[in-house]
Amino acid sequence: MLTYVVVIVVIAVGFDFINGFHDSANSIATIVGTRVLSPLAAVLWAATFNFVAAFVGNTAVAKAVSGGFVDQHIVDANVICAALVGAIIWNLFTWFYGIPSSSSHALIGGFAGAAIAKGGFAALTWGTKWIQTLSFIVISPTLGMLVGFLLMALVLNLFQKASPRRVDKVFRPGQLASSALLSFAHGQNDAQKTMGIIVGLLVATQGYFVNETGFWHHFYLADNKQVPWWVEMAAYTAISLGTLFGGWRIVRTMGSRITRLRPVGGFAAEGGGALVILAATKFGIPVSTTHTITGSIVGVGATNRLSAVRWGLASRIVWAWVVTIPAAGAMAAIGYLLLSTAIKI
């Protein structure tokens, strides 16, 4: 069992890495699409600020994921492993087809699906975190759209007499700051979800490690009130390394196919998205970076004219959001049934 737990931790870190190249494209798409940075420079920039997030802020999102969605008495190693496998399969599927779905909701959907497969719907702790998470599927892109729209409208009003060349000159370095803020916000919210899953695993398997010493003692965790330092470092390192590999298919979709952006638009879109994500992180709400930045990009595009937004593509993305939780949940449920047959706990 000790080795099995370590394997699951490695799978969780692998999920975080996949999250990096799947979701972190959100934080570099606009800066690549506006040609402020090259793709290579952009992923280096984003990865740096993903990791900086490890040293600032709280772990409210991690605690919410570890204990706010599934009854802790239901959680065991097979449930966590199946949750991760379901989320990873869905992430790879949507990444292959260039669909900006949510790694966050894939993980939560996978966790729920595996728990339901073991204990039925009673395994879910219906309450505040479920309400917040499900409602923010709509609220986060709407807020992103609104804040992106307002920021863009404010900037256009302030610079209405300036030439387009001068505006671009001002906002090219400005977009470096907004992109850094978005990458920082992404690191804070998304890495914590993997941290929460690992914490849930360690609490569920604490009985196997309580009397261990040396290396194995680091895997002992009595409750989810604190996150071990090595879990934090592993999660932030993995998501940062994942960013370095980029998500080029999704970059193309997010950066130019939804709407064409100039540096000033990129600044407003990234700034709007970052503000919404940071606010959610402050209150321990696991939100989708993908949903939020997509909404913000749409809001910025709408300040030009509604036809500037490719609504057909945007609607396709929305459908991917809707099916993510049940799809990842179904995959995780199948995974749990297979694992529980092969590995008895």
pTM, to two decimals:
0.86
What's the confidence (pLDDT) of residue 305? 62
What is the 8-class DSSP label of residue 250?
H
Looking at residues 190-206, what average pLDDT do you find?
94
pLDDT in tens, 287-296: 888 788 888 8
Looking at residues 161-184, what average pLDDT do you find?
86
Judge whether residue 12 has pLDDT over 80. yes
Contact 132, 281 (CB under 8 A): no
Question: CA 285 to CA 197: how far, in whole Å?
Answer: 15
Phi, psi of 18 (to 5 degrees): -65, -40
In the chain, pLDDT over 70 holds for what percent of residues? 88
What's the confidence (pLDDT) of residue 258? 43
Name the average pLDDT for the chain: 85
Pairwise pLDDT comparison (69 vs 101), residue with the higher score:
69
Looking at residues 297-307, what average pLDDT do you find?
75
Phi, psi of 126 (to 5 degrees): -60, 125
Looking at residues 20-26, what average pLDDT do you find?
70
Phi, psi of 221 (to 5 degrees): -145, 120
Confidence grade of residue 271 (pLDDT, cut at 50, 70, 90) = very high
Judge whether residue 202 has pLDDT over 80. yes
What's the confidence (pLDDT) of residue 36? 78
Q: What are the extents of the domains in the chain?
A: 2-342
Confidence grade of residue 255 (pLDDT, cut at 50, 70, 90) = very low
Question: CA 130 to CA 155: how far, in whole Å?
Answer: 36
Looking at residues 264-284, what average pLDDT do you find?
90
What's the confidence (pLDDT) of residue 151? 93
What's the confidence (pLDDT) of residue 234? 96
Phi, psi of 291 (to 5 degrees): -60, -45
